[in-house]
C-alpha cells in the first residue's frame, strides 16, 4: 500500500488534491481513499490530507503517520519542524518551493527522492491565484508515476467547469515539466 501525507494551509486545495489523486487511481482500476484532518476551518490554518492507494481493498481507516510520500503545498511550511516526521526509509518528498531539491537533503534524510517545483508561481500564471493543488499534482505524477498524467487531467475535467478545468490542466502540465528531482 502506498501512503501519502499532504501538508498545506486552508484554501490551498489540500483536500481536493488528495481526492483528485485517489479518484484518478480508482479510475485506473486501483483501490484508493482520501481524507483530511484539520483544526478550525479557516483560510490559512494548517491542513493535513491523506491518500492511500493499493491494488487490494483498503481496510485501514486511520491517519497516515508513516508515509511513503510527503507532499507540501505551501512553500512557507517546507522548513517547519515536524514535516519530515514518520517518513519511511527510502521515502519521497515533493515540495512547492523555488529552491532546488538538494537544499532539503539534510532535512529529509530518509528520502530517496526529493522533488521541488515552484507551484505557486505556476498557479498564479496559469490559474490566476496561488491555489497550488493542481500544480503540485503535476510534480507528484512526474516524481512517482503513481497514475498517468492523463488520468489526473480527466478527473480535473470532470470536477471543474470547462474554463477552470483547462487552466488547472495547464498548471498540472507546467508543473510536470518544471519539476526537479534529486535522487540519492
Q: Which domain CATH number covers 33?
A: 3.40.920.10
The model carries a pTM of 0.95
Q: How many domains does the chain have?
A: 1
174 has pLDDT over 70: yes
Q: How far apart are CA 176 and CA 184, in angstroms?
A: 20
pLDDT tens by residue, 65-110: 999 999 999 988 888 888 999 999 999 999 999 999 999 999 999 9
Residues of the domain holding 47:
2-183
Q: What pLDDT score was predicted for residue 183?
A: 97
SS3 164: helix
The interaxial angle of helices 149-159 and 133-144, nearest 10 deg, is 160
Amino acid at each position: 500500500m502506498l501512503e501519502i501525507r499532504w501538508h498545506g494551509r486552508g484554501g490551498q486545495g489540500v483536500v481536493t488534491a488528495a481526492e483528485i489523486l485517489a479518484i484518478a487511481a480508482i479510475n485506473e482500476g486501483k483501490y484508493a481513499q482520501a481524507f483530511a484532518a484539520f483544526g478550525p476551518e479557516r483560510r490559512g490554518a494548517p491542513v493535513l490530507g491523506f491518500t492511500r492507494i493499493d491494488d487490494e481493498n483498503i481496510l485501514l481507516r486511520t491517519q497516515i503517520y508513516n508515509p511513503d510520500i510527503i507532499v507540501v503545498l505551501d512553500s512557507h511550511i517546507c522548513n517547519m519542524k515536524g514535516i519530515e516526521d514518520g517518513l519511511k526509509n527510502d521515502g519521497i518528498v515533493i515540495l512547492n518551493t523555488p529552491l532546488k531539491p538538494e537544499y532539503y537533503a539534510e532535512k529529509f534524510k530518509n528520502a530517496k527522492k526529493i522533488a521541488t517545483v515552484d507551484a505557486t508561481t505556476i498557479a498564479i500564471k496559469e490559474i490566476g491565484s496561488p491555489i497550488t493543488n493542481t500544480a503540485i499534482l503535476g510534480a507528484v505524477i512526474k516524481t512517482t508515476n503513481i497514475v498517468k498524467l492523463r488520468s489526473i487531467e480527466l478527473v480535473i475535467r470532470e470536477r471543474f467547469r470547462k474554463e477552470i478545468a483547462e487552466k488547472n490542466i495547464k498548471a498540472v502540465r507546467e508543473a510536470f515539466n518544471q519539476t526537479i528531482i534529486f535522487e540519492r
